[in-house]
Structure 1
Amino acid sequence: MNSNNQPIGIFDSGIGGTSIWKAIHQLLPNERTIYLADSKNAPYGQKSKEEIIALSMKNTDFLLEMKCKLIVVACNTATTNAIQELRAKYDIPFIGIEPAIKPAVTHSKTQIIGILATQGTLNSALFNKTTEKYQDTKIIEQVGHGLVQLIENGDINSPEMTKLLHSYLTPMIEANIDYLVLGCSHYPYLIPQIKKILPEHIQIIDSGEAVAKQTQNILREKVGFSSAENSEPVFYTNTNPKVLTEILGNKYTVEKKNF
């Protein structure tokens, strides 16, 4: 496979997909990346399937204008509602992100797992098709109402966040889950908060590492790796760049664009 120095495009409904970007950047530091935060339209989880598809196509068009060689849909809601339509319309590889149910089910001792996700993900046909495979495991689903908006506002450690997490996680603890699946790319930023609430034996799983490895596979098999060294990532948002800049540790420039 010849080298390919075009960038990898990554989009999310906001800042949460940076948890996926970090995993990709860590595994593939020489790849150019362009991250698109559609924070103006966050959260996607409360929108209709048609709206999610339209927003996902808008984001894809923007990244294709930037000459991206593949696109990572770093949003569970966009993946479960729109990735089939994206793959049908565009002639470019797409990598989606789905809740990591399989490893949780595989390793669960109690055969009871919890999943915290958006309404859009839990209601999607793709998610329901996935969960139907695991009839022997009890899957406790919880919509994370309000969590994405608090993260987008920079209120990760607020009393309101703590209160919401307690209300969502306590029933799962009482139901004897031993794995908690984070079904939204925003939620890994809540892991420190969640760990304070969960007993130590409950394992937390997110999708970042799996998506990074799949990105590596697609580059190897279809697209080609970059021959550059330590390329500087590019970040765009359509709202105030402050929260995205802070979540990236103030290490990178974030540019505001209207898209």
Structure 2
Amino acid sequence: MKIHKHPIGFFDSGVGGTSIWKEVISLLPNENSIYLSDSINAPYGEKSKTQIIDLCLKNTEFLLNQNCKLIVVACNTATTNAIDFLREKYPIPFIGIEPAIKPAALTTKTNTIGILATKGTLNSSLFEKTSSSFRKNIYIEEIIGKGLVELIENGKLHSKEMTSLLNSYLNPLLKKNIDSLVLGCTHYPYLIPQIREIVGDKINIIDSGEAVAKQTKTILTKFHLLNSNKNIAKHTLYINKNKKVLEQLISERENTSIIEKNF
């Protein structure tokens, strides 16, 4: 089998990375994919850097054993803590996810933007390096979205607990006069309808999905890995906890299977 027909691999601390997966397979409909939801270890954002790297190594090895030609680290915390290590260790291309601070910084009118992310992302050296270049001109208000990932992973996306937490995190940001809200976790795009109800229509909500999909296409093209096969792409999603949560987020799609499996 020619390598360009091999699947794109994705992994996340849970089901949230499917927000990235959807963007990528929408832009690249010929590409086969394998998605790994490490829900049993979610959230990564509360773990140490060493723990995060160890989990990323395990996930990468699983995907490499499935002959993935490129791996999307569909997790902000995993990217900011481990992607440099992964790129040094493995020869295949890795695509990372970082909070989209730049577009928010370039478009803000109030010179104040908010970032909702996990503790692991906000405390990472990569995030500090990325954000520091913008702090001279704008104010960046950071909020740790503690508990949001756990609720999504437990099937409580539309629960009263979720509404309460979102209000507690977003209302202080609104008082700071932000005009852009950067979602720094791949789980959070699933919260956009609820976030919009709280912040209204004047706040620009920014996530990384579209940019990551475009970057994936760019890298596949650069390394001559694009799949030109016109057959219907095959997608396999693995989860090591409760697959019903993943099924709720993935609409029925031809040639797509969800498998609950320990890994």
TM-score range normalised by the length of the shorter chain: over 0.9
Residue by residue over 1:148-199, the C-alpha shift from the partner in whole angstroms, topping out at 9 and shown as x without a partner, is: 0000011011000000000000011011000000000000000000000002
Pairing 1:91–2:98 present: no
Task: Give the 3-state SS of the residue equivalent to 1:176 in structure 2.
Answer: coil
Separation in 2, partners of 1:154, 1:95: 28
Q: Return the match for 2:233 from 231, 234, 249.
A: 231
Letter aligned with residue 115 of structure 1? I
Separation in 1, partners of 2:116, 2:242: 27
Count of paired positions: 258
List alignment gaps of at least 5 residues for structure 2.
none
Letter aligned with residue 17 of structure 1? G
C-alpha displacement of 1:250: 4.4
Task: Answer yes or no: is the 8 Å Cα contact 1:13–1:75 preserved in 2.
Answer: yes
What residue is the counterpart of 2:43 in the other structure? 43
Task: Answer yes or no: is the 8 Å Cα contact 1:12–1:74 preserved in 2.
Answer: yes
C-alpha displacement of 1:258: 1.3
Q: Pick closer, same or farther for the CA change 1:83–1:223 going to 2, 3 Å.
A: farther
C-alpha displacement of 1:3: 7.4
What residue is the counterpart of 1:115 in the other structure? 115
Task: Answer yes or no: is the 8 Å Cα contact 1:87–1:93 preserved in 2.
Answer: yes
Pairing 1:71–2:71 present: yes
What residue is the counterpart of 1:258 in the other structure? 262
What residue is the counterpart of 2:214 in the other structure? 213
Please identify runs of 4+ aligned residues in structure 1 that moved more than 3 A: none
Pairing 1:22–2:18 present: no
Pairing 1:152–2:153 present: yes
Separation in 2, partners of 1:132, 1:106: 14
Aligned Cα RMSD in Å? 1.1
Separation in 1, partners of 2:229, 2:13: 29
What residue is the counterpart of 1:163 in the other structure? 164
Task: Answer yes or no: is the 8 Å Cα contact 1:3–1:227 preserved in 2.
Answer: no
Q: Pick closer, same or farther for the CA change 1:3–1:49 going to 2, 3 Å.
A: closer
C-alpha displacement of 1:7: 0.6
Q: Could you state the TM-score of these two structures normalised by the residue count of structure 1?
A: 0.98
Q: Could you state the TM-score of these two structures normalised by the residue count of structure 2?
A: 0.96
Deviates more, 1:112-121 or 1:214-223: 214-223
Task: Give the 3-state SS of the residue equivalent to 2:91 in structure 1.
Answer: coil
